[in-house]
Amino acid sequence: MVMAGTPEKVIDYLLETRMNNNNFEEQFNKESLFEDFLLTFPIFITWKHMTNSLLRHYKIDEMNFRQMEDYIVDNKKRVARFTLLWFKISADAFLNCKTITIFLDELIDLMEKDNLKHDNHFETELTSLKNIKETKENYNLNLEMRGTIVYKADNSNSVRRMSNINEALFAKSPDETDKIFKLTAIKEFDEIICRLYCADHTYTTLKTTMDTRAEIIRNQAAEKLNLDNSVDYTLVELKSDNERYIFNETELNIATTLSLNGRIFISHKDHLDALTTLPEQEGTTIGSIFKLESFSSQEIAYFLTNQTWKLFFNIHPYEFIYLVFGRHNFNDITANLDLCRRNFNELQYWAITEVLLEKSLSRRVQILKKLIKIAGYCKEYKNLNSFFAIIIGLSNVAISRLTQTWEKLHNKVKRIFTQYESLIDSSRNYRRYRLLLSKFDPPLVPFVPLLIKDMTILHEGNKTFVDQGLVNFEKMHLLAQTLRMIQDCKSGSFQIQSPATLSMKKMNFPNVLQEYFDQIKVIDNQKRLMQLSYCLEHRKL
Amino acid sequence: MSYAYLFKYIIIGDTGVGKSCLLLQFTDKRFQPVHDLTIGVEFGARMITIQNKQIKLQIWDTAGQEAFRSITRSYYRGAAGALLVYDITRRETFNHLTTWLEDARQHSNSSMVIMLIGNKCDLESRREVRREEGEAFAREHGLIFMETSAKTAANVEEAFINTAQEIFDKIQEGVFDINNEANGIKIGPQLSPSNQKSSSGNQALGTGGGCC
């Protein structure tokens, strides 16, 4: 087992020992070293560096012109095999990478010349490489047709895709091409519209690409707002509970990383304390779940599951790496993961908000019951992310302290809730949840926050480099286990049975629900939630 | 190994203040999430001795879940101690202490012991928060205070053990209800008579906590 090595040495080693012959793919599936490497390489080597390294290997005959022909041919083949597996693992990230375009062209070009020189020895490899190139061209073509997708984060609602000509892309069920291309996923050139507020609550609206750095956003905003450019301005997130987070200048896609009711402010560095929250950051004062009266819990869970699945499916495993190791180190976005995290928080606070905004005890009990039922169906649909979002929401102190409400709940439902709640028990590192997960077959949506936690703790607890720049492969192996698990969860086609209760006249129901969930407003300020809770059932002194 | 008491801790604070590093330094183990479910290894646990009594500390690290504040809240419920960590080289992390503290107080039982920790004291040259400021904050809010370095291990042992000592004292004074596991304390095999059971009759919904 490889424990540590320089990136270069490990590439050498993999080429020499793992790319032996035509059954290299079989070998690849049998052991995980190479897969671990490809799942984690962005941590310790850039794409450019990797392609350079491969090309250097390919040009072995330029350095060692006295080598045997067999040896040279074999080495060149190994580079081609390496590339094939790289595409297999990196998938859409590979297709999306500009460095790869240049690399493939050069590699194919060199190989064609070598093919003539060495009696057509490279036919098989050439065909495979050309196939990848063709896939990549096809991908670019599809991207062009897809165009830029615009998202907005400019009002009190959440980050939403703007309706535009791409509607058809999102409406159709994903076919095989989309599974590889992920055309509905957020790409770095997609745009986002967001508002930037001044201390006096005036604002300007900016449209930027997803990968725009905070520094540039700040400068553009300062210019639009006619701010004195001799002053040191900074961008800060002001959360609904008045907490502020300063954005580093190098931070990317800041708009998708905001907390639910958080807003971006531009302010003089020394005046951050003077910022006050906008009234709209309170969220809402009226519940909305009554709008869902005509839908069964199963129908709502069905909708939530399809929605969450799409969000989860679109996340590239590398996004977890970028998030945990810091986006700015990679200059790459985590927008798909951000939206999935956001969706989790939104669902959670939606559940809390809806219960707390219902003043009538009997109706509150009904809402509680309905939410527990929705969670139950989510679990049945193997959507563990939404399941936990609702259950953790309902375990919030603001809800759990409502003794009268819980007392009125049917004993059977109470027991079910207790049982659900026990699944998020953190003891022995979430053993219960992990056992539950192991009983499900993929595809499924796992509990995403735990994936981030696992990777963060692995990262913080283990050095990336051990002495003199050697990559700690034990750490990479551990990280890859989580990343592989994410990929496993996505395998197979995700098709859940539409609820049987669905009558013809409700065929349109996903759209109605989509509209509802697009517009929900939630309260994410814990203090405010506690106040509401105390209003419903007074504090015992 | 048998123990007299088990204390549950939670480590909180901003992203990147070194929560995991403190824990790892203290438990001297590299973290590995449990993938082998059959083993169910416990991580973040260590035995210590206070007044000749074996005490098991079970520490819950919230690293990576800072953006899911509400998940963290669900851990307060069963915690007897909390380490609230900031980074002395990043003023911002000190400024956020109030919110963390309010959150902890609101969601834990009222006797939870909170230790304030200014971490990374090995980076004196990059210090942004003076030691006195940490002390003042702790005094104002009734916390124990300590500056640590997870890198050099300075004060790390003390941070965990002093917190345990304080919890232990509170047990002796009868402040903690040790029969209620929601308080984050469990009586171990060393002390508990075999037939003693904690009273958990009205805990069916887990509505514990000193919030009501």
The CATH number assigned to the domain holding B66 equals 3.40.50.300
pLDDT band at B201 (very low <50, low <70, confident <90, very high): very low
Which residue is listed with tokens 């697009």?
A518
The answer to whether the CB of B77 falls within 8 A of the CB of B107 is yes
**Are residues B42 and A429, on separate chains, in Cβ contact within 8 Å?**
yes
The answer to whether the CB of A516 falls within 8 A of the CB of A292 is yes
**Are residues B31 and A461, on separate chains, in Cβ contact within 8 Å?**
yes
d(CA B42, CA A431): 10
pLDDT band at B43 (very low <50, low <70, confident <90, very high): low
Q: What is the pTM of this model?
A: 0.91
Q: Collect all residues with Cβ–Cβ distance below 8 Å to A494 and sequence separation of at least 6.
A: A309, A313, A443
Q: What residues are paired with A194 via a beta bridge? A: A153, A206
Instruction: Specify if B208 maps to a domain.
Output: no
Instruction: Specify if B210 maps to a domain.
Output: no
295-334 in A: which are within 8 Å (CB) of B?
Answer: 324
Q: Which two tokens stand for residue B147?
A: 């500056």
80-99 in B: which are within 8 Å (CB) of A?
Answer: 92, 95-96, 99
Give the pLDDT confidence score for residue B202 in this predicted structure: 37
Nearest-CA distance from A132 to chain B in Å? 35
Is B70 touching A (CB cutoff 8 A)? yes
**Are residues A458 and B31, on separate chains, in Cβ contact within 8 Å?**
yes
**What are the pLDDT digits (tens) for A110-154?**
999 999 998 999 999 999 999 999 999 999 999 999 999 999 987
Contacts of A259 in chain B (CB under 8 A): 67
450-509 in A: which are within 8 Å (CB) of B?
Answer: 452-458, 460-462, 478, 481-482
**Are residues A341 and B67, on separate chains, in Cβ contact within 8 Å?**
yes
The answer to whether the CB of A336 falls within 8 A of the CB of A316 is yes
HEC-encoded secondary structure of A397-444: HHHHCCHHHHHHCCHHHHHHHHHHHHCCCCHHHHHHHHHHHHHCCCCC
Could you tell me how many CB contacts below 8 A there are between chain A and chain B?
126
d(CA A247, CA A230): 20
* Minimum-distance CB partner of B34 among A434, A456, A527: A434
Domain range holding B105? 5-187
Instruction: Specify if B92 maps to a domain.
Output: yes
Interface residue of A428, A529, A537 to substitute, partner B, most B CBs within 10 Å: A428
Instruction: Specify if B46 maps to a domain.
Output: yes
Give the pLDDT confidence score for residue A4 in this predicted structure: 82
β A191-197/A160-161 pair status: unpaired
- A120, A125, A129, A131 alpha-carbon torsion, rounded to 10°: 90
* Nearest of B189, B162, B151 to residue B54 by alpha carbon: B189
Q: Collect all residues with Cβ–Cβ distance below 8 Å to B209 and sequence separation of at least 6.
A: A397, A400, A401, B76, B77, B107, B108, B109, B182
Model confidence at B200: pLDDT above 50: no
Instruction: Specify if B162 maps to a domain.
Output: yes
Which amino acid does the sequence have at A411? N
The residue ranking higher by pLDDT, B183 or A27, is B183
**What are the pLDDT digits (tens) for B50-105?**
999 999 999 988 988 888 888 888 888 889 999 999 999 999 999 999 999 999 99
The answer to whether the CB of B74 falls within 8 A of the CB of A392 is yes
**Are residues B63 and A460, on separate chains, in Cβ contact within 8 Å?**
yes
**What are the pLDDT digits (tens) for A338-395?**
999 999 999 999 999 999 999 999 999 999 999 999 999 999 999 999 999 999 999 9
Instruction: Specify if B96 maps to a domain.
Output: yes
Is A211 touching B (CB cutoff 8 A)? no
pLDDT band at B206 (very low <50, low <70, confident <90, very high): very low
Instruction: Specify if B193 maps to a domain.
Output: no
By CA distance, what is B64's nearest residue in A? A453
Nearest-CA distance from A299 to chain B in Å? 27
DSSP assignment letter at A445: B
Nearest-CA distance from B182 to chain A in Å? 12
Nearest-CA distance from A21 to chain B in Å? 33
Please give the ipTM for the structure prediction: 0.83
Interface residue of B29, B31, B86 to substitute, partner A, most A CBs within 10 Å: B31
Q: Collect all residues with Cβ–Cβ distance below 8 Å to A317 and sequence separation of at least 6.
A: A39, A483, A486, A487
pLDDT per position in chain A (541 positions), as tens?
667 888 888 898 888 888 777 677 777 777 788 999 999 999 999 999 999 999 999 998 777 666 688 888 999 999 999 999 999 999 999 999 999 999 999 999 999 999 999 899 999 999 999 999 999 999 999 999 999 999 998 765 678 888 766 777 777 766 777 788 999 999 999 999 999 999 999 999 999 999 999 999 999 999 999 988 778 899 999 999 999 999 999 999 899 999 999 999 999 988 999 999 999 999 999 999 999 988 999 999 999 999 999 999 999 999 999 999 999 899 999 999 999 999 999 999 999 999 999 999 999 999 999 999 999 999 999 999 999 999 999 999 899 999 999 999 999 999 999 999 999 888 778 889 999 999 999 999 999 999 999 899 888 878 899 878 899 988 899 899 999 999 999 998 888 888 866 555 566 777 889 889 988 999 999 999 999 999 999 876 5
d(CA B47, CA A89): 43
**Are residues B32 and A458, on separate chains, in Cβ contact within 8 Å?**
yes
pLDDT band at B37 (very low <50, low <70, confident <90, very high): very low
Phi, psi of A402 (to 5 degrees): -80, 75
**What are the pLDDT digits (tens) for B106-125?**
888 888 999 999 999 899 99
Q: Is A288 exposed, middle or buried (0-12, 13-18, 19+ CB in 10 A)?
A: middle
pLDDT band at B40 (very low <50, low <70, confident <90, very high): very low
Nearest-CA distance from B51 to chain A in Å? 27
Instruction: Specify if B77 maps to a domain.
Output: yes
Give the pLDDT confidence score for residue A28 in this predicted structure: 73
Contacts of B20 in chain A (CB under 8 A): 456-457, 460-461
- For chain B, the domain total comes to 1
Lowest model confidence (mean pLDDT) among A291-300, A483-492, B14-23, B186-195: B186-195
**Are residues A435 and B33, on separate chains, in Cβ contact within 8 Å?**
no
